[in-house]
Structure 1
Amino acid sequence: MSKAKNKITALTTLSIVALLSGCQSEPNQQAAMEVPSDPIQKMVFEQILEPEGLTDRSYPFEYGYADLNGDTEDEVFVLMQDPYFCGTGGCSAYLFNSSFEKMSKFTVVKKPVLISHTDTNGWKSITVWSDGSLRLLQYDGESYPSNASTQPIFNRDARKRMAHDLAVKSDLYLDGGYELTERTDLPIFTPIDQFSFQFKRESDPDSVFVVNVNTLTSDIFFSKE
């Protein structure tokens, strides 16, 4: 897989094709399953689904990747979305190294999944939503903690207020902008200091304008949908 250094995330569904090796006269003969060719789907199939015996249908998941340890190679974070992996508090998630080897499994995880600009023991810290709050996951020298709900709460309220102020004071918003609201469905491994808002403008009320604000650098980026 060609890995861009920008944090990228995508919603994907693992499609598994069953090739029936028997016929109607042999109903007990098991189906042979085709291993996906896409590297990410293949990784999920072989290291998450197959060990659980889940080779009968599609299992949706989201993923993102980023260089967590500064070796210029990207690690991959996978957040399962199927009810088999999810409960009322969240879903199971997995972290793989740049060689697609499983490093950590997390429980009770929801988005947002954010990456910090600071590190612990040489690895970037991660925050995930768990048990009603953002939780800080720090590398202990061997792995990240598995039970996200027991980790320290991380508060982004001050950063959020700063991002909101920068957005409403931007030239584009001041020029007829209204109905500024935060967008919470962020791509996996969005920088922890970055916030996304959307708004409308009086001159173009049928369009949605998106503003991404980085509170660490005060950079503001606009797009239109």
Structure 2
Amino acid sequence: MFNMDRKTKFSYAFLLSILVLLTGCQTSSTPAAPIDPPNDPILKILFDQVTFPEGFTAKSDAFVYAYADLNGDNEDELFVLMQDAHFCEAEGCTGYLFDSSKQLLATFTSIKRPILLSRTGNYQWKNIVVASGNSLRLLRYDGQNYPFDATSEPIFNRKSGKAIAHKLVVNSDLYQDGGYQLSERSDLPILAPVEQFKFQFKRESDSNSVFIATANAITGNVFFNKEVIKVD
């Protein structure tokens, strides 16, 4: 039987450990299996035309979107606002506008809801009003594209429209009958009209519900619905 002294045994064990480590490194370099394409139609559009940052995983709740005709050709464009942390910062998140052929038309940075459509526009494309940081910003089409960075665009003032819409809700029969704690909400649908406002309030006769009022400052219309307060 072959005998090794202590020094020889140590050298042999050291070389063996190096071989095992190298073998493990070779095994770990095997490429990962390809990711299956997403089933969600909006995600398919995004995956085809947007470069996702490292670490992003496709999730159905990672974005909100809406369709609207922005250029008056009777065909809808698609607006997508990302919600995943990989696309968001303190001022807002990244948004994408796709034309009616689902081709990427514009990219917006640092935006958040509300995202609204103005009644006016440039070059036959409607102006878009977005929240960015603590302000509303007006995004105007320049003949080729919308601006990329919302934070550098003009501030848009909705105070007069808000005052009209607020008065419409306060004077409504539903609010007059025991309404209180009226406050504005920012969760309007994406690409809602810029003159549209959303409020919530409670009523003394139904303390377990929150009433939602959507008011249009131009038409004077107010629509109500009710949300039941969830108790844990």
Alignment of 1:91-130 (within 5 A): 91-130=93-132
Which residue of 2 is the match for residue 77 of structure 1?
A: 79
Provide structure 2 residue ranges, at least 5 long, that are not aligned to the other structure: 1-26, 228-232
Structure 1 contact 115–127 (Cα < 8 Å) conserved: yes
Equivalents in 2 of 1:82, 1:52: separation in Å? 11
Residues 224 and 53 (structure 1 numbering): CA distance in 2 closer, same or farther, change over 3 Å? closer
CA deviation map 1:181-207 (0-9, x unaligned): 111122211211000111111222211
Distance 1:26 1:207, change over 3 A: same
Q: TM-score, normalised by structure 2?
A: 0.80
Where 1:72 maps in the other structure, the secondary structure is: coil
Task: Give matches, 1:63-212, under 5 Å.
Answer: 63-212=65-214
Deviations 1:151-210 (A, max 9, x none): 111000111111111100011111111111111122211211000111111222211111
Q: Which residue of 1 aligns with 2:57?
A: 57
- The within-5 A match list for 1:27-46 is 28-46=30-48
Which amino acid in 1 is paired with 2:111? V
Distance (whole Å) between structure 2 residues aligned to residue 55 and residue 33 of structure 1:
13
Distance change >3 Å, CA 204–CA 128, structure 1 → 2: same
C-alpha distance in 1 between matches for 2:55 and 2:41:
17
Cα deviation, 1:10-64, whole Å, max 9, x if unaligned, reads xxxxxxxxxxxxxxx675123211112322110112212xx34658623511212
Instruction: Determine helix, strand or coil for the equivalent of 1:104.
Output: strand
More helix by share: 2
Q: Which runs of 5+ in 1 are unaligned?
A: 1-24
Structure with the higher strand share, 1 or 2: 1
Equivalent residue for 1:16?
Answer: none
Higher RCO (Cα < 8 Å, 6 or more apart): 1
Matched pairs, number: 200
The 1-side partners of 2:177 and 2:159 are apart by: 27
Aligned alpha-carbon RMSD (Å):
1.9
1:33·1:55 contact (CA, 8 Å) conserved in 2?
Answer: no
Identity among equivalent pairs (%): 52
Larger-gyration structure (1/2): 2
Contact 1:75 1:96 in 2 (8 A): yes
1:194 and 1:214 in contact (8 A); partners too: yes
Structure 1 pair 216/164, CA: closer, same or farther in 2 (3 Å)?
Answer: same
Partners of 1:173 and 1:53 lie apart in 2 by 47
The aligned amino acid for 2:113 is: K
